[in-house]
Structure 1
Amino acid sequence: MSFSPKFAILGSGSIGTYIGAYLVKAGYPVVFVGRERLKQEIQLFGLGISDYKGNSFTLAPSQVRYVTDIKEAKDSNVFLITVKSKDTIEAGKSIRSLFSPEELSKIIVVSFQNGVRNSKELASILPELDDRNLAGMVPFNVVAKGKGQFHQGTSGELVVKSNEFGNKIHSCLRKAGLPSIVHKNMEGVLWGKLLFNLNNSLNALAGIPLREELSQRTYRKILASMILEGLEILKHSGIQPASAGKMIPWLAPIILKLPDFLFFKVASSMVKIDPEARSSMWEDLHHGRTTEISYLNGEIVRLADEIGHKAPINRKIASLIAEAESGSGRSHYDAEALSNLLGII
């Protein structure tokens, strides 16, 4: 039986809108479900998509079906979840409200979110999905530039769980021009990505573009210490992070500590970062939104508490983000000040 996907993007912010735009361009039916502010922006300006390679395309407002009510996605059979991790349960409940149990057994759901628990949380709400509930991973960064413009600032391939249904989604993504791979060990991939994503909080505290941050060896040493601490805690917890593409967690601390000239040579062959790229957590702080710190560094701290590890570095970083988020602390730290605060030499 042929597969005729009709996509719904739940939580169409930066990542969801970017992925959805490619699917629209490829001719797939897509409904974007998100906030009224972005709906109005796209109705006025359309969508402009660009990336670090210099590629770009535009979609006219008439080409983008952007709605604020999930009921308008009733005709969809593939749901890409790109909401913040704190909203995963609600997203699952909203999907359940659309369909009967029999109908639920025929749709596919893919979690393209930060964190490691989203697919399991969706399974608790939507057990009928079974193998159609797919963990996914987005390695690259997308910045919303305003006026319907979305820019991919870093390289990387989307990852989807390898099974009958994941392979179908992978095929659609590739057809749409989105780099994509499948992987059997998605739990390991998600933990591996989380270790790299510890830089989200560091970049937010640095308050500068990613490339500028990583060009400073002191910031890189801080990130290396964060990842090493995470690797130690994962090891004691019996969790083995997996690499996906060129993202190799256990090599990262070694590469980050290299002198500048060696770091740039090695890193440039692994990841491309343009001058506009910033982390999603910086973007959240900048716009006064709740961050995902509890689903990133907070996951490391949660595991540390379970095994009796102090996790001083990630715990302090999480605390600094919480203070910046509440307005009770500083929002930006230069490399030396932050290094001294964390006790990293």
Structure 2
Amino acid sequence: MRKRPSCGGALGNSQPHIVIAGAGAIGCYVGGLLDHAGHHVSFLGRPRILDEVRKAGLRLSDYGRGEVWRAPGRLDLREDAEVLATADIILVCVKSSATAQMGEMIAAHAPDAAIVISLQNGMGHADTLRAQLPDHDIRAGMVPFNVVPLGEGRFHRATSGDIVIPAGAGEVAGMISVEGLRVTQSDAIEAVQWGKFLINLNNAPNALSGLTLQEQLLDRDWRRLMADQMAEALGVLRAHGCAIRSTTPVPAGLVPHILRLPTPLFRRIAARMLTIDPKARTSMAYGLIGGRPTEIDALQGAVIAMGQAKSIPTPLCSAIHAAVKRAEQSGLVPQTPDSFRR
């Protein structure tokens, strides 16, 4: 398809066209708040979720705030990638395994002036997009919070934090910062991403535990497993010379020590870590419950591969990776922390 020019580009358009490329939990939540704030937003997604939204609209809630509702008739819901043809800003929210396919769609349809921001878990997605989109401004973002899909167009934000994107041309962060959704810029986005990557390694243990995040964090045996897994990953990242900027109030290297503390002391020191919806689970938990593929290869799988490159064993990440793969094939059976010790 021959590309059409953008509507002036995100830097020169007072009302940029924002396309949510991957209308899943994060995409619907972020896009819904942008739409509620008056932005021109289109949602590119699959029928499984878009059909729910077509019937019920979008209901967005936050554990510390009220609810936002966007009526179905007010939303631009698309299944055809041609919607990318007039995009000024593209927020990529697909699962890791779909990044290359989305890159192909953007290459085929989007104008070169469109700014592409990856809001995906894991590392390397921006590099995948750059390889396919050499003429675009590609930025790797970090989303610190998780969003729970509750069905019937309802999406609930269960944890806190601000989205971070790289500094770059224009005031993109300001453009997409709205009430309830703050976006900041960083000149060390890769270090920020590695900090979030370490936290995201708990997606799999939480999914396999069958517990809520709060229940898991208040169980010292699970916290010890989380700590040992993080320490294992930290050793691998440091061997590769990765800069790490913590997304918690304490340095990444101290988090394993805090997790290992007795529960009464942990409660006092890590109060902010417990400021989450009591019913919240990680996105991987909901994926396994729903029988969908997970992002385990982009998380524990990445640590395993990086460890192999430096001849560093990663027994915990390997055991957790294998357990998630079994759950993808045979269904989720709750595990205990001892299940991963050898």
TM-score normalised by structure 1 residue count: 0.92
Q: Alpha carbons of 1:45 and 1:248: their partners in 2 closer, same or farther (altered >3 Å)?
A: farther
2:71 aligned partner: 60
Given candidates 321, 328, 334, the residue that maps to 1:318 is 321
> 1:39: how far off?
1.5
1:137 aligns with 2:142: yes
Q: AA paired with 1:15?
A: I
Whether contact under 8 Å (1:246, 1:270) holds in the other structure is no
CA distance in 2, matches of 1:316, 1:270: 26
Matched, 1:332 2:328: no
2:259 is the alignment partner of 1:256: yes
1:174-193 aligned within 5 A: 174-193=177-196
CA contact (8 A) 1:157 1:245 kept: no
Aligned to 2:157: 152
Q: Find the aligned partners of 2:264 and 2:145 in 1 and give their Cα distance.
A: 24
- Tell me the secondary structure at the aligned position of residue 74 of structure 1: helix
SS at match of 1:273: coil
Cα pair distance change 1:322/1:42, threshold 3 Å: same
* Residues in 1 aligned to 2:216 and 2:282: alpha-carbon distance in whole angstroms: 11
Give 3-state SS (helix, strand or coil) of 2:226's partner: helix
Matched residue of 2:201: which SS? helix
What is the CA deviation profile of residues 93-135 of structure 1, one whole-angstrom value per residue up to 9, with x for unaligned ones?
A: 1011114xxx31x110000001110000100000101xx2111
For the aligned residue pairs, the C-alpha RMSD in angstroms reads: 1.6
Deviates more, 1:5-14 or 1:170-179: 170-179
CA contact (8 A) 2:217 2:274 kept: no
The separation in 2 between residues aligned to 1:20 and 1:178, in whole angstroms, is 10
Taking the TM superposition and a 5 Å limit, the aligned residue runs for 1:35-184 are 35-99=46-110, 103-104=111-112, 106-129=113-136, 132-165=137-170, 168-184=171-187
Count, aligned residues: 331
Aligned partners of 1:232 and 1:239: how far apart in 2?
10
| Aligned counterpart, 1:224 | 227
Deviation at 1:245, TM superposition (A): 5.9
> Within 5 A, what are the aligned runs for 1:283-302?
283-302=286-305
Is residue 212 from structure 1 mapped to residue 215 from structure 2 by the alignment?
A: yes
Distance 2:299 2:49 in 1: 26
Tell me which residue corresponds to 2:7. Answer: none
1:209 Cα deviation after fit: 1.1
1:176 Cα shift? 4.3
Decide whether aligned partners of structure 1 residues 176 and 3 sit closer, same or farther in structure 2, where only a CA change above 3 A counts: farther
Q: Normalised by the size of structure 2, how large is the TM-score?
A: 0.93
Query: Any conservation in 2 of the 1:200–1:282 contact (CA below 8 Å)?
Result: yes
Q: In the alignment, is the contact (CA less than 8 A) between 1:154 and 1:271 conserved in 2?
A: no
Q: How does 1:227-242 map to 2 (within 5 A)?
A: 227-242=230-245
Identical aligned pairs, as a percentage? 35
User: 2:31 aligned with 1:28, yes or no?
Assistant: no
The separation in 2 between residues aligned to 1:135 and 1:122, in whole angstroms, is 10
Amino acid at match of 2:131: S
The answer to whether the Cα contact below 8 Å between 2:84 and 2:106 also exists between their aligned partners in 1 is no
Unaligned 5+ segments in structure 1 are: none
State the shift of 1:290 in Å. Answer: 0.7
Partner deviation per Cα, 1:53-108 (whole Å, 9 max, x = no partner): 03211111111111111112322211000000111111111011114xxx31x110
Query: d(CA) in 2 for partners of 1:267 and 1:109?
Result: 35
Which amino acid in 2 is paired with 1:88? T
Rate the CA distance shift 1:330–1:87 in 2: closer, same or farther, 3 A. closer
Kindly state the Cα deviation for residue 3 of structure 1 after the two structures are TM-superposed: 3.7
